[in-house]
Amino acid sequence: MAPALAALWRSVTPADIDTTLPDLWRDAARDSPVSRALMSNLVIVRHGARPPDDEVVHLEAESNIVRIAERHPARIIVLNYSPDAGRACAPRQATIGVLTFGAGAVRYGVEVIAVDEVCAEASVPSIVRRLTRGDVPTTVWWTADLSRARPPDPMVETGRQFLYDSTGWAEVRLGAARATAILALPHAPDLADLNWQRLAPLRSAIVHGLRNELGAGAPVQNGVMIRHRAGEPAAGWLLGAWLRRALRWTSFPSIEASSNDDEVVTVTLAGERWEMTARMNSQRVLVAGTGEPPPFSIPVPRQTVADEVISELRSLGRDMHLRETMLTLAT
């Protein structure tokens, strides 16, 4: 872990970003050498957000950005995107920064670029294409609810990976439909869902339980019940689609909200003569059957959002299970 963080910031017009960044690097290297670290581009889209009054204060307070920059050095581009079909405008201002970490021979720096209000959908791709570096992978992180707001296709297509979080989706099926529409684009990126990643311990526990210990044949029709925490229906629906696809059912299992806020999601599978329940909370997944053997549990990793994002950034490649789950959910 790098011990120190230093940051240099400058406010510029968008046209001066490229010419001013080298000045910042020179300033950053004035007292001791600094290596420019660049593993990827991370485009963070703040949809519907007006730019903060003081972007520098906001960016420094945004611990996710700093943590990501430190552990997966990416050129971080923050777009404050407020689409307004009624007016086309170019961004007037940008904030650029160099964050440096470490010391001595391992001192390294990362670029951050925050572009103020981008209001015309059509103008977004030209900004993203200009600011991203082509020789490293690009991830577009859509921080808004995908079921409420759709990202412009050309912006999505600039990325190799489209990152989102389905946890708070207001309309799960609509969100899934939009995610799968992205997969149909001519230059479709890979999907990465932070919620899907969080559910990985539960999926893994269910597979283990069925395969090794607690299951005795496939669940019967209507033998699957999923309860999700109130306000987080996507967790239930993702697991429902995952199971439906695997069981080749033509309909979804029973999915309902639970009044038990301790458990994120609970999945009960029942066969002819067996039943297995997997309960996931923020600490562990507990799996218990109706008889022998005794319950088992597996831990849920304690991760920040930054940890989860870094994990996705480093996992380039097509997640076929997520892809097919989304397709199932969207149908």
Partner 1 sequence: MTVDLDTLASELAAGEAQPVATEPVTLVIFGGAGDLAHRKLLPALYNLHVDGLLPPRMAVVGVGRKDIGDDQYREFARDGIQRFSRRSLDEERWDSFASSLFFVNSAIDQPGVFASLGSRLDIIEHERGLAGNRIYYLAVPPALFVPTVQQLSHARFVAPADARPFSRLIVEKPVGRDLASARAISDAIAAVFDEHQIYRIDHYLGKETVQNILVLRFGNSFFEPLFNKKYIDHVQITVAEQEGIGTRAGYYEQSGALRDMIQNHMLQLLALVAMEPPRSLDADVVRDEKLEVIQSLRPLEGEAVDMATVRAQYAAGFDLGAPVPGYKDEPGVSRSSRTETFVAMQVFIDNWRWAGVPFFLRTGKRLPKRASEISIHLKEVPPILFNRDPHRRLDPNVLTIRIQPDEGFALGISSKVPGPRVRIYPVNMDFRYGSTFGGSSPEAYERLLLDVMAGDATLFMRRDSVEGSWHWITPILDRWAEQTTDPLPTYGAGDWGPPEADRLMESAGRSWRQL
Residues near partner 1 (CB under 8 A) = 14-15, 18, 22, 25, 36, 38-39, 88-91, 115, 118, 120, 122-127, 129-130, 132, 134-138, 154, 158, 186-187, 314-320
SS3 282: coil
Least distance in Å: CB of 5 to partner 1? 21
Task: Please say which residue, 138 or 328, places its beta carbon nearer to partner 1.
Answer: 138
Q: Which is nearer to partner 1, 57 or 122 (CB)?
A: 122
Our CB check for partner 1 shows the closer of 90 and 286 to be 90
Is the Cβ of residue 132 or residue 147 nearer to partner 1 in the bound state? 132
Task: Please report how close the Cβ of residue 96 comes to partner 1 at its closest, in angstroms.
Answer: 14
Closest CB to partner 1 among residues 34, 146: 34
In DSSP terms, 286 is beta-bridged to: 279, 297
Q: CB neighbours of 189 closer than 8 A, spacing ≥ 6?
A: 140, 156, 157, 159, 160, 161, 162, 182
Closest contact distance (angstroms) between CB of 261 and partner 1 is 33
* Residue with smaller CB distance to partner 1, 15 or 220: 15
Neighbour-count burial for 70-87, b at 16+ CB within 10 Å, e otherwise: bbbbbbbbbbbbbbeeee
Region at 246 (left for phi over 0; alpha for psi -120 to 50; beta for the rest): alpha
Closest distance to partner 1 from the beta carbon of 130 (Å): 5
Which residue, chain included where needed, has tokens 């010391």?
103
At its nearest, how many Å lie between partner 1 and the CB of residue 15? 6
Sheet holding 284-289, edge to edge: 254-258, 224-229, 265-270, 275-280, 284-289, 296-299
Tokens, residue 106:
């391992």
Please measure the distance between the N-terminal and C-terminal CA atoms of the chain and give it in whole angstroms. 44
Task: Give 42 or 269: the residue with its C-beta nearer to partner 1.
Answer: 42
Sequence letter at residue 322: L
Q: Which amino acid is at 262?
A: D
Rounded least distance, CB 257 to partner 1, Å? 34
Tell me the C-alpha distance between 105 and 124, whole Å: 38
Contact 182, 189 (CB under 8 A): yes
* The residue type at 308: E
Minimum gap (Å) between residue 191 Cβ and partner 1: 12
**Cβ partners under 8 Å of residue 319, min gap 6:** 190, 191, 192, 196
Give CA–CA dist 146/166, Å, rounded. 8
Q: Quick one: 201 or 253, whose CB is closer to partner 1?
A: 201
Q: How far is the CB of 91 from partner 1 (least distance, A)?
A: 5
Find the angle CA(266)-CA(307)-CA(300) to the nearest 5 degrees: 30
CB of 298 to partner 1, least distance (A): 16
Give the nearer residue to partner 1 in terms of CB position, either 10 or 36: 36
